Amino acid sequence: MPSWHINIKCGDSSILYWIKERCDKMQCRIPVKFLHLCSLLFLVLIGYCDGYLNIFISQSQVMKLMGLEAELFYVREGVPNTYAMTFVVPVPANIADLEFSWQSTAGVPLPYSMELDYDVVGVQGGNPEAVALLRPQVNVSAKGEVPVTLQVFRIRIPCSGLVSAEIPMALRLNVSAPPGTKYNDTSLVFKRNKICLKGVEAPSSNDSIRLEAPLVNGTGALYVAATCACAFILVVGSVVSALYVRNSKARVQESQKTLPCCSYSAAGTGGLTGSSVLVRVDPRPGSANSGSYATIADLEPLYARPCGSRASYYAASHVTNVSQTTDPCDKARAMAIPRSALHCRSVAQEGTFGRVYKGTLNVAGREQEVIIKTVTEVASAYQASLLVVEGSQLAGLVHGNIASLVAACLDSPCPLLAYASSSSELNLKTYLTDGIHHPVTRDLVNVGVQVARAGAFLHGRGLLHRDIAARNCLMEPNSFRVRLADAALARDLFPQDYHCLGDNENRPIRWMALESLEHNQYSTATDVWSFGVFLWELATMGGQPYVEVDPFEMMACLRDGYRLVQPRPCPDELFAVMAVCWLGIARDRPTMPQLLAYLQEFHDALGGFI
């Protein structure tokens, strides 16, 4: 059997003819199926052959910056991730070193140039020493070659600890394309916001790395192009794919083995009937059973922005003890009107003992559109009183994103509660699950911003909602205006979302925080937990959270560190917000005003690229 040396260039369509010609000369037979397979593999390899450069952030770096267990590729097999390049990544004050992994897959080192732009800010009182950021340093030279083997280069951006500031930075890389190829030089700019806090100095580094002078004021490009051996790529690609599939199956099997209390499904996420698929996260060291897969440092903008930022403006602490000094029924009585003032026009929703009508309210000759909640004749006295108590929860509040009670009729066994509305307004969960509407990501983030604004308003007045969910929101489809409503009749209209755990109390188990399930404790932090599940509902278009878990097992699953997995195609930035809402320790979660500030900035950033 002779040995063949095949030198194949990408895009060389003569590969199949070459194989057939060589075999014809040697009078060997080639099965037709083999030629078909070669044709198929060749078409597949054309896609692989364009790969000539990898630039990414390792899993450990992504965990430090974003709290996610994944690698973030900026250039993968020569294809830039333009979406990832558009966002500015915040770098917390306690992180001084940025690491990038890179590799030339062209078979030869590729020339590069590197430059770093940053603003020198923080000089106070005319003291030039009082700067927020010390001189950046890198462990590679300003000009050199991208290595053929996978290597890491580091940029050190230490804070002085003297001044609080947020410093925009831009790393520009220029990699020249190999001569004699069809590829051109391309520019990539990595944007970072370095956060420095007064009193927090740069942590010492144990890395024995050579530090070069800073790179300033430059423009460049980062792109590589090269030919590749398709046969080699085929082998490597097959091995990598096999390892990836095997590791993915191993992770699923391991999750199934370590999940004694929960039923687990390997189906995909998203949609109306899709599985949510749980992910287990190890508790953080030093905090038993926290179940954290994000930390305070992962979303620094939520916790420690310099003075003057939106996060600082909205800063607030968690309210752990909230007392209702006013009887809810007294609020409803204060808004009492005669039955003749309400006209029920059409049924919008109906449950076992409750109904929601579209109608009008006529007071002093002024008519307005309203939503009317009431119970039917088969409802018990307890159900009727529960309607009034829960319907009065937000009474008297005036806010653009809150649907508060405007009138009540209590002079009959079937009380009627009226809420200002528009003729086209409908339930948000109904909107998400009807299969007709297809909002884009920015619209969904806008919904999250409005509900966060309502939650921040409530918490600022010492009030808790206790049931933030899509089913308790009203939405105007045309304008995407959303209002957070009370939970009156929600148990009857959405019975699949509430469960009784033997204590004769129907509760939204899948939306509740761990401490609420364990100790019946409620605080602004538990509202934040529910808000995180609400964001997950938005990302899955009304999907049912923890659908694989029996309600009786929810407490044990959360205690063991299981959380909802990132939906597809949910942006990493949005899922990071969900993740910090589900931290096991209540005080580690962001406040609602901080979530509002972050989501508003993310929404604005999305608008800049549309």
Give tens-digit pLDDT for 537-560: 999 999 999 998 999 999 999 999
Chain centre distance of CA 110 = 36
604 is catalytic: no
Compute the distance between CA of residue 413 and CA of residue 460 in angstroms, rounded to an integer.
36
Of 97, 467, 486, 560, which residue is the catalytic one?
A: 467
C-alpha closest to that of 485 among 401, 543, 418, 411: 401
Compute the distance between CA of residue 508 and CA of residue 495 in angstroms, rounded to an integer.
9
Could you report the per-residue pLDDT of 446-477, keeping only the tens digit for each?
Answer: 999 999 999 999 999 999 999 999 999 999 99
Give the pLDDT confidence score for residue 285 in this predicted structure.
39
> Strands of 426-427's sheet, edge to edge?
426-427, 473-476, 481-484
Give the pLDDT confidence score for residue 177 in this predicted structure.
74
Which of the two residues, 596 and 8, has the higher pLDDT score?
Answer: 596
For residue 99, pLDDT over 80 is answered with: yes
Which of the two residues, 195 and 125, has the higher pLDDT score?
Answer: 195
Give the pLDDT confidence score for residue 80 in this predicted structure.
78
Give the pLDDT confidence score for residue 184 in this predicted structure.
65
Q: Residue 364's pLDDT band (boundaries 50, 70, 90)?
A: confident
- Mean pLDDT, range 240-247, rounded to an integer: 39
Compute the distance between CA of residue 446 and CA of residue 538 in angstroms, rounded to an integer.
11
Give the pLDDT confidence score for residue 130 in this predicted structure.
67
Give the pLDDT confidence score for residue 304 in this predicted structure.
40
Compute the distance between CA of residue 461 and CA of residue 457 in angstroms, rounded to an integer.
7
- Mean pLDDT, range 491-495, rounded to an integer: 95
Give the pLDDT confidence score for residue 55 in this predicted structure.
87
Give the pLDDT confidence score for residue 160 in this predicted structure.
84
- Mean pLDDT, range 14-28, rounded to an integer: 47
Give the pLDDT confidence score for residue 174 in this predicted structure.
85
> Which helix (H) or strand (E) segment is 457 a member of?
helix 441-460
Contacts of 478 (CB under 8 A, 6+ apart): 424
Give the pLDDT confidence score for residue 326 in this predicted structure.
57
Per the prediction, the chain carries an average pLDDT of: 75
Q: Residue 60's pLDDT band (boundaries 50, 70, 90)?
A: confident
Compute the distance between CA of residue 53 and CA of residue 228 in angstroms, rounded to an integer.
11
For residue 294, pLDDT over 60 is answered with: no
Give the pLDDT confidence score for residue 363 in this predicted structure.
87
Give the pLDDT confidence score for residue 166 in this predicted structure.
82
Main-chain phi, psi angles of 194, to 5 degrees: -85, 125
Lowest mean pLDDT among 37-46, 222-231, 404-413, 446-455: 222-231
For residue 309, pLDDT over 80 is answered with: no
Compute the distance between CA of residue 207 and CA of residue 71 in angstroms, rounded to an integer.
22
Percentage, residues of the chain above pLDDT 90: 40
Q: Hey, which bits of 60-206 come out as E strands?
A: 72-76, 79-80, 89-91, 97-104, 110-118, 137-138, 143-146, 151-156, 165-175, 187-196
Percentage, residues of the chain above pLDDT 70: 67
Q: Tell me the H-state helices in 359-402.
A: 381-391
Q: Residue 270's pLDDT band (boundaries 50, 70, 90)?
A: very low
Lowest mean pLDDT among 297-301, 351-355, 564-568: 297-301
Give the pLDDT confidence score for residue 327 in this predicted structure.
66
Q: How far is CA 115 from CA 172, 247, 303, in A?
A: 5, 38, 31
Q: Answer yes or no: are the C-beta atoms of 255 and 152 closer than 8 Å.
A: no
Give the pLDDT confidence score for residue 555 in this predicted structure.
94
Q: Residue 82's pLDDT band (boundaries 50, 70, 90)?
A: confident
> Apex CA 552: angle with CA 547 and CA 553, to 5°?
70
Give the pLDDT confidence score for residue 67 in this predicted structure.
67
Contacts of 376-383 with C-beta under 8 Å, sequence gap 24+, read 376/414, 377/413, 377/414, 378/352, 378/353, 379/353, 379/354, 379/414, 380/353, 381/413, 383/353, 383/354, 383/492
Q: Tell me the H-state helices in 175-307.
A: 230-257
For residue 224, pLDDT over 90 is answered with: no
Give the pLDDT confidence score for residue 199 in this predicted structure.
76
C-alpha closest to that of 467 among 485, 449, 483: 485
Give the pLDDT confidence score for residue 202 in this predicted structure.
59
For residue 603, pLDDT over 60 is answered with: yes
Count CA within 13 A, CB hemisphere, residue 530: 28
